[in-house]
Amino acid sequence: MKLMPKVNLSNTLKNDISLRFEEALGAIALIVIITDGYLANIEVSLLSTILSRIELFSNYPSQVIERMFNKVLTIFNQNGVEILWKMAVKGVHHYLYNSDFALTTDVLLADFDVSEEKEQLLINLCNYLEIPEGKTGEIFQIMLKNQRL
């Protein structure tokens, strides 16, 4: 599956669905994992672990995170990755841009499969979120260091 660098804005949702900002963060992280075309159980477990370390999700029971993943995967299955991507980046609050980039980087590095598509997705996310290049490098280095610990 290839993620498009630019989302075709003429695509419309098959259902009138929106994502809360927590779901948007989870959706972007999930998109990073599914760019290889499939979602393994270990990847879902990995993503759940990463999300639980984030303060925003720290008090979420596993059932709530599972429902969130189910909603995001339903949107993906019914509408495709372009629409899910559009909804997710639109749903992220401005004050969470750096956190979203850090989460996405953490997931990308934890998946141990940094493909060209995933790199492009990260670049697209940086551009959309307007994170300065110096800041992205700083966040990436921190997340890389955390992965080694």
Domain range annotation of the chain = 21-148
- What is d(CA 58, CA 53) in angstroms, rounded to the nearest whole number? 6
The fold of the 21-148 domain, in CATH, is: TerB-like (1.10.3680)
Q: Which residues lie below 8 Å from residue 9, measured CB to CB, with a gap of 6+?
A: 86
Give the pLDDT score at 10. 41
Residue ranges, the chain, pLDDT below 50: 1-11
Tell me what pLDDT residue 113 has: 63
Q: What is the pLDDT of residue 3?
A: 39
CA pair distance 29, 100, nearest whole angstrom = 8
C-alpha span between 130 and 109 (Å, rounded): 21
